[in-house]
Structure 1
C-alpha cells in the first residue's frame, strides 16, 4: 500500500473505529444505537433548517482547524486558537457596533479587524518563541485565559448593552447574515462566512504548496538549523507562521460575532471552537481539504446530536465521547499503521 493511500485511509479508519466503539458504549449503557444514529442524521440533514445550521457550525470549525493545521505544518503548536478566536470575535463586533458605514466598507472592515486582532494576539507567542525560544504551547495556553478575562472586562466596562453582560447588536451593514440564506434554509443562522472559510482554505493550500514563502515556512518547521544554514530567516518565519495562524483564528471569531450571534457576550467559559479546531486539524491530516472534510463531520455531529435526546432519548454527550474516540484513534495512528502494514505483508505473501 502506498504512503499516500495509507495516509488517506487512517482518518477514515479512525472515524469508523470511533463509531464502532461509541456504538458498543451505547449498547452497554442500554440505549438503542440505531435510533440514536437515526436521530443524529435527522437532526443534521433531516430538514433544510438543520442542514443550514450544520453549514453554519462548519464555518468556524474550518477556520479554527486551518489555524491549528497551519501552525502544525510549519513546526509550531498553536494551542491558543481559542483565545485568538475570542479576541477576533470582540474586535469584529466592536467595529460592527462603533461605526456606521456603507455595507461594502463596514463588513470588510469588521472582518479585517478580527483578522488583525487574532494575528496580533498570536504575534506575542511567536516573538517569544523566535527571540527567546519560549515554548509556544505554554504561552498560547496562558494567553487563552488572558483573552477570556480581558474581553469580558472590556465588554462589561466599555461596550455594555442595558443588560450589562453583552454588547449591543452590530449594525446590519456589518452582518454576514442574509435574507437569501434565511429564505433558503427556513431561517437558519447560515451566513456568507462559509465562503470566507473556503477561500481561507484555498489560500492556505496555495501559500504552503505553491509559493516560495510557503516552502520557507515548511522548511523552518522541518529543520531550523538546515533552514538557517541555507540562508532563511528562521525567526522571521516563526513569527510569520504564528501570525498567519492567528489570522485564521481571528476570522473564526468574526464568523461567530458577525454571523451566528451578531454580538459579543460575557463568557463564563471558553467557546470550545478553538479547542475543537485541534481535533479538526488532526482528523484532516493538517491539510486544507482534509480540514474542510473533518469540519463537515464535526459540524454534523455537533448539530445532529442536539436531536438525539428528543427523538431517541440518548444523551447528546455520547457524541462527545465518539468525537473523543475519533481523536484518540487519530492520535494513535501509529497503531493503525502497524496493523495495516502487517495485513499488507500477509497480502504480499
Structure 2
C-alpha cells in the first residue's frame, strides 16, 4: 500500500449557486437604474409630484385649512389629499375610463378621446425622433403640419373622386407636402451646411403666412362664398372613417399612426438605411470615412421625417377636424412633438408611449378643470417639467438616489474604503 492510497481524496468544492444568482440580479438592477429609460419614467414621476404641490397650493380648501395649520394640522393634510387625489382621479376619468358612466360603452369614451388626441402626437413625434437619431433637430413640425394640412385640404375640398380613392389621394398629397417642406431644410443642410434649426424655424413662419394667404384667397382654400379664413368642409369621400362607429370620434388616423410606428421601428432597427442614419447621428466624420454620403442621409432623413409629420397634419384635417379648418389647425402639435420625442428617447415604441401619455394629459386636463376647478395651465406646467427633468438626467438621478454613470456606486465606494483601511 502506498502513501497515496492511504490519503483521502480532497473534498470536492461546494457549488456556489446563490452568489452568481445574486450577482446577476444585482448587475441587471444596476443596468436598469443606470440606463436612460429609467430617466424618462422618473421624469414623469417627478413632474407629477411637482404638479401635486401646485394643485394643493391653488386649492381653496387647502388654503383655508392652512390658515389654522398649527391648531389642527390634520385638516390641512386631509385637504391636500382630497385636492390631489380628486384631481388625479378626475384625470383618470377624463382620460381612461369614467366609472360614473351608465354603461361600459359610455365609460370607455375617454380612452377613445385620448387615442384621438395622441394620434397626431405619435406621428409628429416619430418625425422629430427620426431626425434626432440622425443628429438633426427637426424644429419645423409646425410648418410641415400646416403644409400637409393645406395639401390634403385642397384635395379633399376641390377634387371629386369616389371613396376610398379620394381619401387616399388626400393622404398622399398631405404626406408629400410635409416631405417636400422638410426636404427643403434637408437639402440646404446637405448642400450649404445651413443649420437645420434656423432653417426649419424660418420655414415655420413661411408656412404660417402662406397658409393664411391660402385661407384668405378664393379658389385656393377659402370656402366658396365666405370671407372668413376657413376652408369648406372636407368631402365625405375624403374623410377618414371612425373605426369604432359614430358614437366615438376615434378615426382611421390612429391605425395609420400605429403602422407608422411599426415602419419607423423596422427602418431604424432592421434596415441598412436606418443603420446609416444612426451612424451619421453618432459620428458624421466616421460615417463619411466609412463611405456613407452624409449629405444624402441628411436630405433623406428630413424627407422621411417630414412625411411622418405630414401624416399628423393629414389626420387632423381628414379625421379630427373634417368640417373645415383655419390657421390654427396644428394646435401646437408640431412643438409638442419635440417633447414627445424627447420623452420617448427617439425610440418608436417610446414615442408611442409618450404620445399616449400626452394624449391622456390633454384629454384628462379638461375633466380636471371642469370637475375639480384645477387650472388647465397646471397640466401644461407638468408637461414642461417633464422636458426640464429629461434635459437634466443628473438632477433626476440625484433626486431619486440613483448612481451617476461613470461614477462608482455607494457599495463600490464602501468597498474601496475598506480596502484602503486594510
Would you call these one fold, judging by a TM-score over 0.5?
yes
In structure 2, what is the equivalent of residue 307 of structure 1? 367
Equivalences, count: 345
Q: Give the deviation of 1:101 after TM superposition.
A: 1.2
Q: Is the 8 A contact 2:122 2:355 kept in 1?
A: yes
What value does the CA root-mean-square deviation take over the aligned residues? 1.9
**Does residue 1:168 correspond to 2:232, yes or no?**
yes
Q: Give the TM-score normalised by the residue count of structure 2.
A: 0.78
Q: Give the deviation of 1:304 after TM superposition.
A: 0.6
In structure 2, what is the equivalent of residue 340 of structure 1? 402
Q: Is the 8 A contact 2:340 2:355 kept in 1?
A: yes
**Does residue 1:136 correspond to 2:196, yes or no?**
yes
**Contiguous gaps of at least 5 residues in structure 2:** 1-29, 61-82, 99-106, 415-422
Alignment of 1:275-286 (within 5 A): 275-286=335-346
Q: Give the TM-score normalised by the residue count of structure 1.
A: 0.94
CA deviations on 1:243-298 (whole Å, 9 max, x unpaired) are 11100111100000000001553326962001000000111111000000001110
Q: Give the deviation of 1:147 after TM superposition.
A: 0.6
Higher percent of residues as helix: 1
SS, match of residue 237 in structure 1: helix
Q: Looking at both structures, which has the greater relative contact order when contacts are Cα pairs under 8 Å and sequence separation is at least 6? A: 1
Distance 1:58 1:269, change over 3 A: closer
Alignment of 1:70-149 (within 5 A): 70-149=130-209
Q: Give the deviation of 1:337 after TM superposition.
A: 4.1
Q: Is the 8 A contact 1:93 1:262 kept in 2?
A: no
Q: Is the 8 A contact 1:80 1:140 kept in 2?
A: yes
Q: Give the deviation of 1:4 after TM superposition.
A: 8.4
* Residue number among 246, 249, 255 corresponding to 1:195 in the alignment: 255
CA distance in 2, matches of 1:4, 1:232: 35
Q: Is the 8 A contact 2:33 2:403 kept in 1?
A: no
CA deviations on 1:73-115 (whole Å, 9 max, x unpaired) are 0110000011101111111111111111121311111111111
SS, match of residue 182 in structure 1: coil
CA distance in 2, matches of 1:220, 1:309: 45
CA distance in 1, matches of 2:141, 2:58: 35
CA distance in 1, matches of 2:40, 2:190: 33
SS, match of residue 40 in structure 1: helix
CA distance in 2, matches of 1:154, 1:113: 16
Which structure: larger Rg?
2
Q: Is the 8 A contact 2:131 2:137 kept in 1?
A: yes
